[in-house]
Amino acid sequence: MKSSTNPASPTVPAQLSLDGRVIIVTGGARGIGLALSKACLEVGAVVAVTDIQDHPTPDFTLTGAKFPGRLYYYHCDLANEDELNHTFNQIYSDLNHVEGIITAAGICIDKPFIEHTWEDIRRQQSVNETATFFAVQHVTRKMKEQNKKGSIVMVCSQTSQHVSPGHELSGYAGTKGFIWSFARNIAHELSAYGIRVNTISPGYIATDMNLSIAAHRPNLLRIFREAPPLGRVGSPEDLKMAALYLLSDGSSYVTGQDLVVDGGMQVSSGNYKSQL
């Protein structure tokens, strides 16, 4: 073996391209899932969004018009086994193949640990853990059947690794800890089939999820701005390149990793003392 660069290696735009690939995005009607759907469309993918919203947002509809014939909406409660199975089978039947999935569907309950109910934990686990587990399992079976390489990207969270100052997320954080460990386990198991598995851990991102919590606790808005060393709250668009990198051939030698996009929170959250 000799050490050298390969003059025939693909260009960076070619490596980031998802031209013609079908990517499923769970929870893509709005927020992070929608931003990542747009990123996939911008580099040539066909995107199938599954979400529980009865109707996708106006932004989703505009995006569909901008990329005719490449953005599809499937209404589905992913926490319902029959609906998930039916919807994913319908996607394969409509679009024939699948090369990747981004799991962005999630719910978040912010309240003190001692006030959490069994129902709070059940609801979060059913969407954030169980639905993600079986969505990924469904796609993995299809990828194996196709005998093609594929990429799985799960949206995890900074809460899987450390507290998010200002929030009280004991139950939610546990579900993201599940994603962190689950991804590492299947990354090892699925490498034999050429299927890569990675996670993205966002910090504070301004979406309906966070902003609806801040609507009752406006002080959170200040924390979202002040706590990240980079001095601002994140936007869903801040995650686009991370998702493209992990989905595309640009990361063909990367599996079992977590890509943190948090404005520096991971290196500093312990230093931030909010004045609540």
Ligand X SMILES: NC(=O)c1ccc[n+]([C@@H]2O[C@H](COP(=O)([O-])OP(=O)(O)OC[C@H]3O[C@@H](n4cnc5c(N)ncnc54)[C@H](O)[C@@H]3O)[C@@H](O)[C@H]2O)c1
Which residues sit at the interface with ligand X, rule CB under 6 A?
A: 27, 29-33, 51-53, 76-79, 104-108, 127, 131, 155, 157, 202, 204-205, 207-210
Give, for 50, the enclosing helix (H) or strand (E): strand 46-51
We find the least distance from the C-beta atom of residue 182 to ligand X, in angstroms, to be 13
We find the least distance from the C-beta atom of residue 233 to ligand X, in angstroms, to be 8
Helices 58-66 and 31-42, axial angle in degrees (round to 10):
10
Between 30 and 70, CB nearer to ligand X: 30
We find the least distance from the C-beta atom of residue 7 to ligand X, in angstroms, to be 40
Between 59 and 77, CB nearer to ligand X: 77
Between 78 and 186, CB nearer to ligand X: 78
Closest CA to 99 of 241, 247, 244: 247
We find the least distance from the C-beta atom of residue 93 to ligand X, in angstroms, to be 20
> Do 152 and 191 touch, CB atoms closer than 8 A?
no
Between 148 and 225, CB nearer to ligand X: 225
Closest CA to 255 of 209, 207, 195: 195
We find the least distance from the C-beta atom of residue 68 to ligand X, in angstroms, to be 23
Helices 132-146 and 170-190, axial angle in degrees (round to 10):
20
> Do 197 and 256 touch, CB atoms closer than 8 A?
yes
Tell me how far apart the alpha carbons of residues 45 and 17 are, in angstroms, rounded to a whole number: 8
We find the least distance from the C-beta atom of residue 32 to ligand X, in angstroms, to be 4
Between 78 and 244, CB nearer to ligand X: 78
Tell me how far apart the alpha carbons of residues 150 and 143 are, in angstroms, rounded to a whole number: 7
**CB neighbour class for 24 (10 Å; exposed up to 12, middle 13-18, buried from 19):** buried
Reduced to 3 states (helix: H, G, I; strand: E, B; else coil), residue 201 is strand
We find the least distance from the C-beta atom of residue 261 to ligand X, in angstroms, to be 9
Residue type (1 letter), 13: P
We find the least distance from the C-beta atom of residue 189 to ligand X, in angstroms, to be 23
Between 17 and 48, CB nearer to ligand X: 48
Helical ranges in 43-130 per DSSP H: 58-66, 81-95, 118-124
Tell me how far apart the alpha carbons of residues 33 and 102 are, in angstroms, rounded to a whole number: 8
Between 124 and 151, CB nearer to ligand X: 124
Tell me how far apart the alpha carbons of residues 100 and 152 are, in angstroms, rounded to a whole number: 6
Between 17 and 220, CB nearer to ligand X: 220
